[in-house]
Structure 1
Amino acid sequence: MNAMTTTPPASGGGWLGGLADWAVGLMETIGAPGAALAIALENLFPPLPSELILPMAGFAASRGSFSLAEALVWTTLGSVVGAFVLYWVGRLLGRERTRRIFGALPLVAVEDVDKVEAWFDKHGAKAVFFGRMVPVFRSVISIPAGVTAMHPAKFLGLTFAGSAIWNTIFVLAGYYLGEQWHLVEQYADIFQKIVLVAVAAALVYWVVKRVRASRSSRDQSPSA
């Protein structure tokens, strides 16, 4: 394998830029497993954005540091492992203690945690799947799944499916954009809004379908 000869520019300055540089160095040092470790930590520390790390992994693959298949497999593995750790944190510590822990993290508001919990309470399994494609939700959604003791196999399956879709989009974007991988971040918010609109549309369709089925059942039932 060829090492990356140049370090891609980090997005922004300050501590976030430093974290981005650290993620690049990790991939340069230990290859694709470094991308998995960075993404696993992104799950545990939501302010570290996957919208930066995943395109970096794609860029590294385009430079020959590891293959594209390795980038996809390892980043998805990292997402699943990180999410599963948080699932067990929620399951073992309970709602209040995990809520206090997340509330103490920089750039994570307790209100965000409450919104994720409300979303999970309302949508359950769908929240776990689609939540993998929404910032902050992506990490925090594992907590209520653990607190409510969702079956581990079901949680892992939904997490794998949602993570695989999200990771593939951003890794491929970084791979094909090459040196311009950082442009992906500019469009990440648009993609996330598309996901939210799709989720809302699916929920509206489901509600309408249930209402129609209920009315049809009443119309077909014999009158007293």
Structure 2
Amino acid sequence: MLEWITNTMNSLGYLGIGMLMFLENLFPPIPSELIMPLAGFTVAQGKMEFVPVIAAGVIGTMLGALPWYYAGKVLGEQRLTSLADQYGRWLSISSKDIKKARSWFDKHGGKAVFFCRLVPGVRTLISLPAGISEMHLVPFLLYSTLGTLLWVSLLTYAGYGLGSNYHLVEEYIGPISKIVLASLLFGFIIWVVRKNMRRLT
């Protein structure tokens, strides 16, 4: 994958960075933790400029976030609540839970979108509940762009500073991503267990 990312970046330049970051949002196995540090290393070599690299990464990410956002919006709460009433018992999720989740997202949506853009493994998925909760497009784009700008800048600067050792960024962030995902999964399991225990009492 590294060779493919490198070849794409070398042949297409800034457009290649934007395309890679777009695909990274659609297919999470393509890691931004490798794309942007490599771009930063390219800047350190004098082959690209820092600001256009960051702009390409942010634009590609935001374009890649929109399909997930609209997927959630098209499905909508009504269809999801109907599916939850039919099949949600397998995961202990009801239509009432979905309505509560939407209410929570409506209250904290902006902050959730911003901070989740900084969390590996979650940053791609946050667009879906934003669409499901029918978060307005302008605030979604604003908070997403701010969070993405910070994330892309950090990765690019890390690659710039590490030089040819840019790959170490992914090595350090990779375990963090796994810890975050494991924590979310553990929290979900605890929530399901507690919900079932309350039903039994």
Query: Is 1:91 matched up with 2:76?
Result: no
Q: Give runs of ≥4 in structure 1 deviating > 3 Å.
A: 93-97, 117-123, 189-193
- Which whole-Å CA distance do the structure 1 matches of 2:6 and 2:134 have between them? 36
What does residue 138 of structure 2 align with?
A: 153
Relative distance call for 1:119 and 1:170 in structure 2 (3 A) is farther
What does residue 10 of structure 1 align with?
A: none
- Which whole-Å CA distance do the structure 2 matches of 1:119 and 1:135 have between them? 22
Q: How big is the shift at 1:44?
A: 0.9
- Which whole-Å CA distance do the structure 2 matches of 1:22 and 1:85 have between them? 24
Q: How big is the shift at 1:63?
A: 2.0
Q: Which structure ranks higher in relative contact order (CA pairs < 8 Å, sequence separation ≥ 6)?
A: 2
- Aligned to 1:175, the other structure's residue is in SS state helix
Query: Is 1:82 matched up with 2:82?
Result: no
Query: Is 1:144 matched up with 2:118?
Result: no
Partner of residue 180 from structure 1, selected from 165, 189, 193: 165
- Which whole-Å CA distance do the structure 1 matches of 2:12 and 2:46 have between them? 13
For residues 86-127 of structure 1, what are the alpha-carbon distances to aligned partners after superposition, in whole Å with 9 as ceiling and x for unaligned? 211221244779xxxxxxxxxxxxx9xxxxx99884542211
Relative distance call for 1:25 and 1:94 in structure 2 (3 A) is farther
For residues 37-56 of structure 1, what are the alpha-carbon distances to aligned partners after superposition, in whole Å with 9 as ceiling and x for unaligned? 10111111112211111101
- Which whole-Å CA distance do the structure 2 matches of 1:51 and 1:66 have between them? 18
Q: How big is the shift at 1:147?
A: 1.4
* Structure 2 unmatched runs, 5+: 81-90, 92-97, 181-201
What does residue 23 of structure 2 align with?
A: 41
- Aligned to 2:164, the other structure's residue is in SS state helix
**Residue type of the partner of 2:62?**
V
Q: How many residues align?
A: 160
Relative distance call for 1:56 and 1:94 in structure 2 (3 A) is farther
**Residue type of the partner of 2:29?**
P
What does residue 112 of structure 2 align with?
A: 127
What does residue 32 of structure 2 align with?
A: 50
**Does the 8 Å CA contact 2:120/2:176 hold for their aligned counterparts?**
no
TM-score by length of 2: 0.70
User: Aligned-residue CA RMSD in angstroms?
Assistant: 2.9
TM-score by length of 1: 0.63
- Which whole-Å CA distance do the structure 2 matches of 1:160 and 1:44 have between them? 17
